[in-house]
Amino acid sequence: MSDKEPTQNQQVVKNATEPVPEQAELEQKPQDEQQQLTLQSVVEAILFASDEPLEASKIAKVAGAGDARQVRKLVQELNAEYSRRGAAYRIEELAGGYVMLTLPEYNSWLKQLLQTRQESKLSQAALETLAIVAYKQPVMRVTVEALRGVAAGEMIRNLMEKGLVKIAGRAEELGRPLLYGTTRKFLEVFGLNSLQDLPKVEELRPREPTNTKADQTAVESDEPIDSTEAEQAPQAEPAE
């Protein structure tokens, strides 16, 4: 066999080192096109997270690449992509900037969502009642009323309608009164993993202010001057 002719093993090694056609195409993909796709994703994320219109120049500055002209081009491409796949939102130009908005045909459903959010807001009295239930559960209604000093039946019913409070059983007392506790929705609304994540009562108590040296000096300066010292102080002679 001639030394110049490759052996079978050499031929396998050569084929393994040759790039696959698809891989070769990816490696030859222009770097500026890859950067273009990256910037498009960044611009989309910035607009998605913002709740107010952003100028193209500011978007480019936050993205850390490109300029206002390139941002405007990316916005057009994003809107074309949204339209192609039938997305419920577009990037609109508003007050000199860009903002991501839902399409008008979805307004009826969004109004219901906003109304639900408005109804789910809790008053100060509701928060106080909910806090007592959360920290004292399972708790009887009379205990809640004793701590708040007012009737709590109606407020507890409202919290139950909102899905924040539930009946947790009955107390082993005369009449077997109902016991109340919080629900899983309560954890979701307040961003808690479990009741163990509730702030400790000691952390919620306001700290007593401590008098600093400067405060003590200010207090001492406000003390009245002794009458004897006032008599011994030199008197200014009247002008003739």
Output the pLDDT for position 27.
47
Per-residue model confidence (pLDDT) at position 20: 47
pLDDT at 227: 45
Lowest mean pLDDT among 69-83, 178-192, 204-218: 204-218
d(CA 56, CA 43): 10
Q: Which domains does the chain have, with CATH numbers?
A: 7-117 (1.10.10.10), 124-203 (1.10.10.10)
Does residue 204 register a pLDDT over 60? Answer: yes
pLDDT (tens digit per residue) in 5-46: 555 555 544 454 454 444 444 444 445 544 556 789 999 999
Q: Residue 203: pLDDT above 90? A: no
**pLDDT of residue 214 exceeding 60:** no
**Quick one: CA torsion of 111, 114, 116, 117, rounded to 10 degrees?**
180
Kindly report, residue by residue over 56-106, the tens digit of the pLDDT: 999 999 998 789 999 999 999 999 999 999 999 999 998 889 999 999 999
Q: What are the DSSP E strand ranges found in the chain? A: 89-94, 97-102, 139-140, 165-170, 178-182
Predicted TM-score of the model (pTM): 0.43
Q: What is the pLDDT of residues 103-120, one digit of tens each?
A: 999 988 888 877 766 656
Residue 235, pLDDT score: 52
Residues 119-170: pLDDT tens digits?
567 888 999 999 999 999 999 999 999 999 999 999 999 999 888 999 999 9
Q: Omega into 224 within 30° of 0, i.e. cis?
A: no
Report pLDDT for 191.
81
pLDDT of res. 26: 41
- 48 touches 72 (CB < 8 A): no
Q: Burial, 183: exposed, middle or buried (Cβ in 10 Å; 0-12, 13-18, 19+)? A: middle
Angle at 38 between CA 33 and CA 39, to 5 degrees: 95
pLDDT of residue 219: 46
Question: 188's torsion region: left (phi>0), alpha (psi -120 to 50) or beta?
Answer: alpha
pLDDT band at 231 (very low <50, low <70, confident <90, very high): very low
